[in-house]
Structure 1
């Protein structure tokens, strides 16, 4: 809690600005917080938190879009329990929903997050009893004689610190160090076993058993001589020979296709924003058309500074990018194999047994591991070789270290000046005049500037670390998030704990040493010893401890604001009223937001580390942190059950990161106790008694790793599961896995984004858009003299029915501005649904359909012979996903069919495609973004179509050419 504005702005007598600056930096905590200040902070924190929670209770029943989006959109299996309209109707489901039900509803990652929160709550409740029963009485009674003799005005908080004690009484702190480690290790061990049980249950779940990634291996760093399907099988056979021959698929080079798709998506979003702003008032559009500068990546516009008509330019650029994307998809070189691939087994046991044997081996110089879910992969990093990845990781660590060190200066200046603007006035006479002239204004600025700057920096910090981790070569989003947790935690502990707490002590100590060497000509080592560095550090930590109490008390305010979703509610209302949101943005506002595990875990770990650091210095901090976790454990449970979704489910793989950081926090606590006994206690006997502590923590870590980690990671380690083992899925189903398709690069099948326009502006599109709005996409109506020119364009989704949307835009009515209508579309579900499991459509089980046109829904079935037919055809009838021409693996004896030039029947990348004399045209993965796009000079003839009839042939919804 910060001092009052009046206290900030009180003038001081100063000497020179330089001397005053050095004085302020050397002791930024000169005005200590009193016990009364902490009580005020406690009352304010609890009072405001209660008020915000009450506001949440009032708003929740009438705004389910913000406070219960999961309840609106999740399928029956993953939907949380229904809630009533009462003010406190949300409390009962939170209290009664057990952990096993949570795993089904919110996933294993969210369940382990809640378990970790409860573990922190239990740890600090037990340690609070230890601190209050042992340390507070020891500190108060042990230091009574000293502070009574020295200074009667010492406040109550400082009496609870050990800075007034000497001698053998510090044996109590050594005993508490053992107690802290025992309590932490007990709860970690207990929860490690619980996480193992959850992981084994996760392995046995029907979703995991039927998923493809569970029995698939990912092989990276493949040498050129083995970059084929047969090479992948040889690599796995070098590890062990299994009764099953894996179905392998080597990856293919997608060239610059991902970059083109990203540019296309950016152009679509830019066009939507331009149209939303220009057509904000459809009845009275602006007289001047919007302008923009050409994209830096657009070769058709060499002059990037010249502004052009935004609508015309962006629609033209979208069309050109679509043509380029189609051309690249058609030209993927079948001979250009990449250094990674996937091999799928018929049973999970075989895949995990091979992965277990490969955990410390590198056959043929490759790395073999269990394949993650396809949506978890960072595709652009998979081709990187081991040498490149190591070099990038080194550069990444250097950048993070540089950022961490550079933040020391602004962090210190913010702590000294922005939190107290009167300090800035002491070194800047002109600013001091402004402070005295407008004290109320600068008091407001002071209350906003420091938290705004720090919050803004910490808001972007996770994104910065994510980008750096991707640059470093992380191959999965899960590993990227684990590295972000590690980097954020290291940054916070170094800058916000160590530097912030010890900066003044170190500055004062160095200044004293330099002064003594100059004035008394003492040797540096003698001056160093005379200034008692350990005592100075201990006193500095004791003096700063009240600040951390008030800081942790204020965390309850952040938890309450998070529960009330104040930011989302305020931003949505503000944007709708004062800005010009696009239909896409309004749809996203109604979607369940993804939960940022990296940020939340970092904050919880940082709170834990701060508390354990100051547990023996100021035991009250244990009570404050226990209070925080008691409250937030239930609030976060509500948020994960009803508001947030897990974007990329890892199956609980964050646990080891958390385990290691908590052990590190316990080690820091031991180091603080060692500092205390070395500064004021019987140094060597007490330090000798503490030597086993770090060894015990290290031994505990290795014990848990050897006892639990392999069982948590692998379904089996090669041993037989016995007669009770579940019967694997039949081989006919395994034959249709199509590994090369489901683990194919998304750029090959990803459906292109279409500009969305609100229905209220539909009547103006013909006036503002200078291209064709209602021409046939296949070029049949490209001429005004055609016999069918006056006929209405037919719907691509419903044959025989007129199209309802004028291309190249997708018209969105007011009633459709809800995520419920778009949660099956990859462009929305990838960001707000992860792999789609929450909505009953996990992509690992059913791959999204190959895109046909921008009006086609994503779907999870293969395309049937007739769009109106209710029949779902098998892989042999119609392939659900068809790669561009050329994307087929080399012939393999392991397949039932090999690529055949006559085209009668072949299989590439585990995908069967039939071509007969009656259907000589090969379907290709193309996406006709613009219905009004000019014809490419050739088109696929329309075959005989009979709705609902299997014999009627198939309507070719794709533009193509004869094979």
Structure 2
């Protein structure tokens, strides 16, 4: 008996498209790797940046390797080495790549049984395996005819169960490792671990003295310092201008030394001596900046004195915990609240003397008003976005809501170019419906292969472009640190990848090839779509090969750094020593170490992991390409972390909780798709039984008569996968996220007991314990700014000879000094 399901038109060119992608992009990666091994020993300042900087160097970067000799050392690097020399974020990133690789290899192991089962599926009468020319379609679950051999449906069900259980068994120990490493980081002896940031402070606590007195009541003798955020845009403008004038003065002195003539500059519609003019401006700015800082500090003292009446001490102890409008009026009668709000931001950095006090402040409520005094761990000072510091909860929530809505609009509008590039890849499916397309493809047959390659390339290009859009949106949310901005960007990009690169691309590509059949049989949409799901696997296989061949090659060769470094060489001023070693706007020298853009990289890996979950049981070939991608990525990024990327010693590992949630969501999505496919098979078997009984005079066999009954059993089994996932996820979410967020107080007490005897002595000598780092940079600019050399030194060092020799003379003078 023949299968009555509408025949799905197979894309006969999908195999050729995949083979062409393999030939192009894997060959590109091999050639690029060989070229990299030839060039890297000769360009160590570019390919081994960390070895050139004593502060960033590590043992692996300092060694000399032969051809490919660095691969085994970086792969064998322990978690302790990664944690010490690369940071917690790097460790989380590399462990995620290893986790994804293990899952892909398990899917490959399952494919050893799936591929022969799918390839040898029983065909209806008159149909052979050669009828379906696409190998990808023959080696997929869609090749099973449920009414002829329903027992084969157990194969994808068993594979889906094994992949799910194996993934869940990996996630729990992985979270345990994260908790352990996170506690190891939180127990470090640096000022960041002892500092918190308090936001949404009430008006009467927006001075150093009032907040210090309030916290002294809650944490007696445990508050080391309080640094209130102030509104000082005028001061920041002057500080930026002073730095510009200092640089201009150094440049003028070098020009005078090289040319023998003192340069001039425009002033009051005339020309004046540049060196004298910039020197006078620099002196004036040094004086005005000091005066402005003193004014701001004295204003804060006057605010505190105006609030510091007899009832303040009692209010700090009692009233501030029951903050009402009447209490506010008690403190602000002598000075308008609006004036105070103009200068004092509702945020402060508080450094405690013990870990116990720090973690207690983070874990306990400071007030009964949930909209006030939110306490968060302090970020590293290099990560703080000072202009965003001080945003209230309402302001940040409003900006985040606006950003979310705008992100949804962007995702919807982005669907149109995504549909366009994926539709082009299946243009040959319309040859029988549109004569013009058929004539064009007959005249130019090379267009078919071109469209097949353009589709995944366009998909990859759109994905790369999305980072700049969503990172700009996240930065406008008012988040106080770059880490928070990157985490917000990461969440947006993962959702974007799930919707655009997976869902929209899958639906648009499948619908394009299925539309002729849907027009004939619209009531069989679910059946036709489920049968054609495997056809779109070619698009994602080609997409993975592009990520491997182009994406990893660009990262290995640091393509963006090469471009920005070339632009820096062409356009950045490089006359003075300061200019030669400093970034220029968004450009930087090629030899500079760079941070790892994890918020940009991780979403693509989540998409590939989602493809393993979805296509592993139904189109196993996808897993092979994904496993190779994860394995090569681990090699490339381990090298980048040890040789190129800046050591993130102060990163906090904030990505893993979000990464875990997205892994669980990817599991749920893949399970829903597999469950839907299984029950569609049951529906097909029932429909075939009804049609056969009503239209055929020949009685079907008992096996064909009850095919739907045989198909129900695996469908019921696979329907329990979301429940299993939920149980394990609920246990993990109950135990580990909160444990990872904070350091246990019992550990704090133990560590504090050990450090009490020497912490204060070392604090006065160790910059890591200098809490003044959390003062706004503009408020720390009280020291007068001077050029790093005098005019007499410039005349002696920068003689009118080759500029490179002059800079060498200057460097030797600095070394002698």
TM-score by length of 1: 0.63
Structure 2 residue corresponding to 1:176, chosen from 136, 149, 159: 159
Match of 1:463 in 2: 468
Contact kept, 8 Å, 2:200 with 2:347, in 1: the verdict is yes
Question: What are the ranges of 5 or more consecutive residues in structure 2 without an aligned counterpart?
Answer: 1-7, 304-342, 575-579, 683-707
Matches within 5 A, 1:372-411: 372-411=379-418
Structure 1 residue corresponding to 2:206, chosen from 227, 232, 238: 227
Q: Map Cα deviations across residues 484-503 of structure 1 (whole Å, 9 max, x no partner).
A: 11101111111111011102
Match of 1:250 in 2: 228
Matches within 5 A, 1:452-531: 457-506=462-511, 531=523
Query: How has the CA–CA distance of structure 1 residues 364 and 75 changed in structure 2, closer, same or farther, with 3 Å as cutoff?
Result: closer
- Would you say 1:154 and 2:182 are equivalent positions? no
Query: How has the CA–CA distance of structure 1 residues 447 and 548 changed in structure 2, closer, same or farther, with 3 Å as cutoff?
Result: closer
- Would you say 1:747 and 2:752 are equivalent positions? no
Question: What are the ranges of 5 or more consecutive residues in structure 1 without an aligned counterpart?
Answer: 1-27, 284-288, 292-299, 302-307, 517-526, 753-776, 779-794, 823-854, 860-866, 869-963
The CA distance in 1 between the partners of 2:361 and 2:679, in whole Å, is: 52
Deviation at 1:612, TM superposition (A): 1.7
Deviation at 1:87, TM superposition (A): 2.4
Match of 2:362 in 1: 355
- Would you say 1:804 and 2:787 are equivalent positions? no
Aligned residues: 703
Query: How has the CA–CA distance of structure 1 residues 719 and 459 changed in structure 2, closer, same or farther, with 3 Å as cutoff?
Result: closer
Match of 2:423 in 1: 416
- Would you say 1:607 and 2:608 are equivalent positions? yes
3-state DSSP class of the match of 2:26?
helix
Contact kept, 8 Å, 2:89 with 2:648, in 1: the verdict is no
Deviation at 1:664, TM superposition (A): 1.3
Query: How has the CA–CA distance of structure 1 residues 196 and 696 changed in structure 2, closer, same or farther, with 3 Å as cutoff?
Result: same
Deviation at 1:127, TM superposition (A): 1.9
The CA distance in 1 between the partners of 2:726 and 2:227, in whole Å, is: 42
3-state DSSP class of the match of 2:775?
coil
3-state DSSP class of the match of 1:588?
coil
Structure 1 residue corresponding to 2:350, chosen from 340, 343, 354: 343
The CA distance in 2 between the partners of 1:707 and 1:147, in whole Å, is: 58
Deviation at 1:338, TM superposition (A): 1.9
Deviation at 1:436, TM superposition (A): 7.8
The CA distance in 1 between the partners of 2:130 and 2:237, in whole Å, is: 69
Contact kept, 8 Å, 1:139 with 1:162, in 2: the verdict is yes
Match of 1:18 in 2: none
The CA distance in 2 between the partners of 1:179 and 1:565, in whole Å, is: 38
The CA distance in 1 between the partners of 2:365 and 2:536, in whole Å, is: 50
Deviates more, 1:322-331 or 1:89-98: 322-331
Matches within 5 A, 1:609-628: 609-628=610-629
The CA distance in 2 between the partners of 1:659 and 1:690, in whole Å, is: 23
Query: How has the CA–CA distance of structure 1 residues 479 and 154 changed in structure 2, closer, same or farther, with 3 Å as cutoff?
Result: same
Matches within 5 A, 1:668-687: 668-681=669-682
Query: How has the CA–CA distance of structure 1 residues 136 and 470 changed in structure 2, closer, same or farther, with 3 Å as cutoff?
Result: same
Q: Map Cα deviations across residues 194-238 of structure 1 (whole Å, 9 max, x no partner).
A: 22222233334xxx21x1121122111011122233543466578
Query: How has the CA–CA distance of structure 1 residues 370 and 192 changed in structure 2, closer, same or farther, with 3 Å as cutoff?
Result: same
3-state DSSP class of the match of 2:349?
strand
Structure 2 residue corresponding to 1:80, chosen from 38, 60, 71: 60
Query: How has the CA–CA distance of structure 1 residues 413 and 662 changed in structure 2, closer, same or farther, with 3 Å as cutoff?
Result: same
Match of 1:556 in 2: 548
Deviates more, 1:550-559 or 1:604-613: 550-559
- Would you say 1:371 and 2:417 are equivalent positions? no
Query: How has the CA–CA distance of structure 1 residues 730 and 486 changed in structure 2, closer, same or farther, with 3 Å as cutoff?
Result: closer
Deviation at 1:159, TM superposition (A): 0.9
Contact kept, 8 Å, 2:228 with 2:347, in 1: the verdict is yes
Contact kept, 8 Å, 1:343 with 1:739, in 2: the verdict is no
Query: How has the CA–CA distance of structure 1 residues 747 and 417 changed in structure 2, closer, same or farther, with 3 Å as cutoff?
Result: farther
Query: How has the CA–CA distance of structure 1 residues 218 and 549 changed in structure 2, closer, same or farther, with 3 Å as cutoff?
Result: same
Contact kept, 8 Å, 2:12 with 2:134, in 1: the verdict is no
Question: Which structure ranks higher in relative contact order (CA pairs < 8 Å, sequence separation ≥ 6)?
Answer: 2
Query: How has the CA–CA distance of structure 1 residues 290 and 40 changed in structure 2, closer, same or farther, with 3 Å as cutoff?
Result: farther
Query: How has the CA–CA distance of structure 1 residues 435 and 129 changed in structure 2, closer, same or farther, with 3 Å as cutoff?
Result: closer
Contact kept, 8 Å, 2:229 with 2:389, in 1: the verdict is no
3-state DSSP class of the match of 1:251?
strand
Deviation at 1:367, TM superposition (A): 0.4
- Would you say 1:46 and 2:26 are equivalent positions? yes
Matches within 5 A, 1:623-642: 623-642=624-643
The CA distance in 2 between the partners of 1:474 and 1:389, in whole Å, is: 7
Q: Map Cα deviations across residues 28-82 of structure 1 (whole Å, 9 max, x no partner).
A: 9974444454344334433322211111111111000111011111438745343
The CA distance in 2 between the partners of 1:663 and 1:593, in whole Å, is: 31
Match of 2:593 in 1: 592
The CA distance in 1 between the partners of 2:727 and 2:138, in whole Å, is: 37
Structure 2 residue corresponding to 1:543, chosen from 512, 529, 535: 535
Deviation at 1:327, TM superposition (A): 6.9
Contact kept, 8 Å, 1:70 with 1:80, in 2: the verdict is no
Deviation at 1:606, TM superposition (A): 1.5
Contact kept, 8 Å, 2:565 with 2:588, in 1: the verdict is no
Cα RMSD (Å): 5.0
Contact kept, 8 Å, 1:375 with 1:648, in 2: the verdict is no
Match of 1:773 in 2: none
Query: How has the CA–CA distance of structure 1 residues 589 and 57 changed in structure 2, closer, same or farther, with 3 Å as cutoff?
Result: same
Query: How has the CA–CA distance of structure 1 residues 260 and 162 changed in structure 2, closer, same or farther, with 3 Å as cutoff?
Result: farther
3-state DSSP class of the match of 1:344?
strand
Query: How has the CA–CA distance of structure 1 residues 600 and 474 changed in structure 2, closer, same or farther, with 3 Å as cutoff?
Result: same
- Would you say 1:565 and 2:545 are equivalent positions? no
3-state DSSP class of the match of 1:610?
helix
3-state DSSP class of the match of 1:472?
coil
